[in-house]
Amino acid sequence: MELRHLRTFLAVAEELHFGRAAARLNMAQPPVSQQIQQLEKDLGVRLFERSTRSVSLTAAGQAFLDPARAVLDDVDLARRAAVYGTTGVTGKVSLGFSSISSRKALPLLLRAVRREQPGIELALRGRTFGGAMVGQILYGALDLGMARLPLRERSLDWHVFDYEALVAALPTDHPLAVREALTFEDLAEQTFITFPAVAGSPVREATMHIAAQHGFSPRVLHEAPDTFAILSLVAAGVGVTITVSSVEQISLPGVCFRPLTGRLPMLAAVFAWNGRSTNSALPAVVEIAKRLLPTPSPSPALLYD
């Protein structure tokens, strides 16, 4: 069994397509097939079910996937230790994020870590939201997460790096869209689209909390798993939603954003991590994040602090 065979296996397992795996590896397709056949011969099992239309992992292939990935990760870590071990920290830090709220901060952090700690690999885990992120940090599946307060698990450590205002997203042909700004009371009779209640979304919790303060309970007509899905339903005229100001960067036909007036609190965007983590590379990344993205001052009135 050779390392190149493991890399080829991982590419095919993740792409589930020999052509795409070959393009990803900068190889022709026949050598990819030959390497998979050789690996299967060495192991004595079939790793993939192949047909003219699809490729899928067998039970043996599925069982082989995580150990193969771990071997390649260890090889990469060993290489980094050899190259950078005398000049800095080496290791791997997994970072969870949702694509919208992290759009500005994430590239800055990536560049700074590469520049200051080249021996540390930041392994990015996109589309990681709410309560799922908290659980993954607690149980070690993630080292660091870009989230918003409140965090359901107060034992986590966090650093505030931004504050975001709440805004309303409406269909462009909605009667309220003609106004330049809205109040929360203006939305009392509307139907809402939100994140699922079980997802632990701070934006949903903020919406419910502030609506209760203004004397109504939002009528949630649909729930969707991510911001793009929510905005797509808004564009279709299904309802309205409350979101954060960074989402205004999304240009989606059929959706308009309006600021919300009144004494409304803001949401804090944070880096969150488990202070009891044994990952020796994590403190170096946290230190860079704190220095690169300090907490804005003065702090605005927060819904949660």
pLDDT higher than threshold 50 for residue 305: no
Out of 40-54, 98-112, 134-148, 230-244, give the one with best mean pLDDT. 230-244
Question: For residues 177 and 170, is the Cβ–Cβ distance under 8 A?
Answer: yes
**Cα–Cα dist 158/139, whole Å:** 16
Residue type for position 118: P
**What pLDDT digit, counting tens, does each position of 267-304 carry?**
999 999 999 999 999 999 999 999 999 998 766 766 65
Pick the CATH number of 89-162+268-292 from 3.40.50.2300, 3.40.190.10, 2.60.40.10, 1.10.287.70: 3.40.190.10
CATH number of 3-82: 1.10.10.10
Cα angle 50, 51, 54 (rounded to 5 degrees) comes to 85
Q: What is the pLDDT of residues 26-73, one digit of tens each?
A: 999 999 999 999 999 999 999 999 887 788 999 999 989 888 888 887
> What's the average model confidence in pLDDT over 163-169?
94
In the chain, list all ranges with CATH 1.10.10.10.
Answer: 3-82
Write out the residue limits of the CATH 3.40.190.10 domain(s) in the chain: 89-162+268-292, 166-259
- Is residue 270 within 8 A of residue 158, CB to CB? The reply is yes
Residue closest to 2 by CA, chosen among 32, 62, 58, 42: 42
pLDDT band at 104 (very low <50, low <70, confident <90, very high): confident
- What is each CA distance from 7 to 3, 24, 59, 158, in whole angstroms? 6, 11, 19, 36
151 Cβ contact partners less than 8 Å away, ≥ 6 residues apart: 134, 158, 270, 272
pLDDT for 53: 79
CATH code linked to domain 166-259 = 3.40.190.10
> Percentage of the chain with pLDDT > 70?
92
Q: What angle do the packed helices 3-15 and 59-84 form, to 10 degrees?
A: 120
